[in-house]
Structure 1
Amino acid sequence: MNVTATAPNATGITTERLGNLRRWNIGLTVLHLGQAVAMLLLTNAFAIGVLSSFPDGPPGTKGLTTTTIFDVRIGWAIALFLGLAGLDHLLTATFARKVYERDLGRGINRFRWVEYSISATIMVIVISLYWGIVTINALIVIAGANVAMILFGWLQERMNPPGRTSTTMLPFWFGSLVGITPWLAMTANLFYVSDAPAALFAILIVQGLFFFCFGLNQWLQYRGAGRWANYAFGEKTYLVLSLGAKSLLAWQIFAVSLAA
């Protein structure tokens, strides 16, 4: 059954599929919020300082002055991005269900992009902190690049509604170009590390692959490849990727630093 009669409906958005997605959103609400609570109960006080470096005199005459401006409690940051994901799934399964399902029929999910722009950015900042990118200036740029990538993903959906006669991938490629920069910044430090624990490399590799898979999922959707020609299948894949990326990062970080 079509969700809307005034415009072409995205493929696969039927009453049965929407009911299945609602059950998934309820399940992911429980899993994300449960993990957020567990993280707050189990975590220790481990924190990483964020620094500010600024010139102390005319350029080229003196070195930089560096000072710690605040500390990031890593356990709290992880609980925050898990909690935001849980809130998103709760809203789309309950209070905002009608808006969510109507949007899916139009081939878009605004809730996804708003939540990702905050939660995924927190995730990237945490990974960056672990890889030695700790100045406030660099973290602001990394956050901006990640938010831009996600908003380009939103624009990709907005510019390619169901029933279109042609598909543009420009927002996707622009987002990919911007979104890869935080990962290039982190991998640049690979040339200088000497005795970093193996777990740090695992975090970088696993999360880098997950972030790549989010982009791949959207690319497959707009190429109409196999099951991805069904918009509902792509939406469920986003749900699975979100759960996997956030859960693995949370417990990878917990194993490295947060076990009380």
Structure 2
Amino acid sequence: MTTDVESNGSDNNRVHNTNTQEEKERQTRGEIRNLNEIPTSLFYWNVAASVFQFVQAAVLFYLSSQADTKWFWYVFYPASFEDRDENPEEFGRPGAEQVATFSVTWYSAAFIVLSGIDHLICAVFRPTYEYYIARHQNPFRWAEYALSASLMRVMIAQLCGITDIHLLFTIFALCALTMLLGGIHESVNAKARADGFQQNWYPFVVSWIAHLASWMPIVNYFFVAVKRGDPPNFVWSIIFILFFLDGTFAALFSLQWCKVWKFKDYVFGEKGFILLSFTAKALLAWINYGGGSR
């Protein structure tokens, strides 16, 4: 008799646990119940930002075309196997080979125009943009950041003395991965944020690995240049401004997704990203142009 009661109790617990698990799965699947209200002003914010960025981009493209200062891209391949017998002490030592010259002022125009294109897309494809904003996501932003933020990172890397084209590509890829992980965090946690469930912060945490990895060679080259007394004043300005602005983007993202103060409203955070994005990029673009054209 006791065994039957215990068996029934165990079965009830299993049923309860199964129901609880099914409820959790229903919570994490399906359509978002609590959609954001989209104010008309958000459309005009994107239009204004787009116009502002395109005007700046036009000016910067013109000024960059007049700049004479060139920076170099190199590859550093080791010595050939054929030279191993003749010069064994030189084997494996990398030799610099110039592959291109490039004015860093073009970076300014490039990431400003990318920002303008992003805001233009958000305005032109307004229904799609607002569909995602209502559901606590903006994939357009993260696609643009993956390109523009990565170009900014490569820009500061070159200004700090990194000339290896393969290392510059790796820095670009790591920064792009950081931004795309931000988009993945939104996609994975949109329903959780909207409907009050526990979020999965794994993508956000992992993004810091790629973020810090992209900064490590830049910081190393920067302080080696400082030790040698090489970097001009504008490089000091850019690296610390970029450090600060990187921190503000991360802080804004955290406030938005932790739903702190007015950032509980996703749209409030979206406006913050629009404002911070085009002001930050404008500041960096003009500092870079002023210094890189010398």
TM-score computed with the length of structure 2 as normaliser: 0.80
Distance 2:161 2:108 in 1: 18
Q: Percent identity?
A: 26
Match of 1:9 in 2: 34
Q: Are 2:69 and 1:46 equivalent residues in the alignment? A: yes
Greater helix content: 2
In structure 1, runs of 5+ residues without a counterpart are 1-5
Q: Which has the larger radius of gyration?
A: 2
> What's the offset of the Cα at 1:164?
4.7
Any idea what the Cα deviations from partners look like across 1:29-51, whole Å, max 9, x if unmatched?
11111111011222313231111
Q: Find the residue that maps to 2:75 and give its secondary structure.
A: strand
Distance 2:287 2:271 in 1: 24
2:288 corresponds to: 253
Name the CA distance, whole Å, in 1 between partners of 2:285 and 2:41.
27
Other-structure match for 2:182: 153
Q: Distance in 1 between matches of 2:162 and 2:222?
A: 12
Contact 2:53 2:116 in 1 (8 A): yes
CA contact (8 A) 2:137 2:186 kept: yes
Given that 1:183 and 1:208 are in contact with CA atoms closer than 8 Å, whether structure 2 keeps it comes out as no
Residue 235 of structure 1 and its aligned partner are, at CA, apart by 0.6
Change (3 A) 1:90 1:191: closer
> What is the identity, as a one-letter code, of the residue corresponding to 1:202?
S
1:208-236, Cα deviation, whole Å (9 max, x unpaired): 11112111111111211111111011111
* Aligned residue runs from structure 1 range 162-241, under 5 A: 162-193=194-225, 194-241=229-276
Separation in structure 2 between the aligned mates of residue 145 and residue 46 of structure 1, nearest angstrom: 28
Corresponding residue SS for 1:157: helix
CA distance in 2, matches of 1:40, 1:97: 28
Number of residue pairs matched? 249
Aligned 1:4-153 pairs, distance under 5 A: 7-10=32-35, 13-15=36-38, 17=39, 19-43=40-64, 44-57=67-80, 61-62=89-90, 63-94=93-124, 96-153=125-182
Structure 2 residue runs of 5 or longer lacking an equivalent are 1-30
- Please give the alpha-carbon distance, in whole angstroms, between the structure 2 residues aligned to 1:98 and 1:225: 28
CA–CA distance in 2 between the matches of 1:149 and 1:101? 24
Distance 2:277 2:80 in 1: 46
Deviations along 1:161-217, one digit per CA (max 9) or x if unpaired, are: 121511121111111221122222211124322132222111000011111211111
Displaced runs of 4 or more, over 6 A:
none
Whether the aligned pair in 1 keeps the contact of 2:105 and 2:292 (CA below 8 Å) is: no
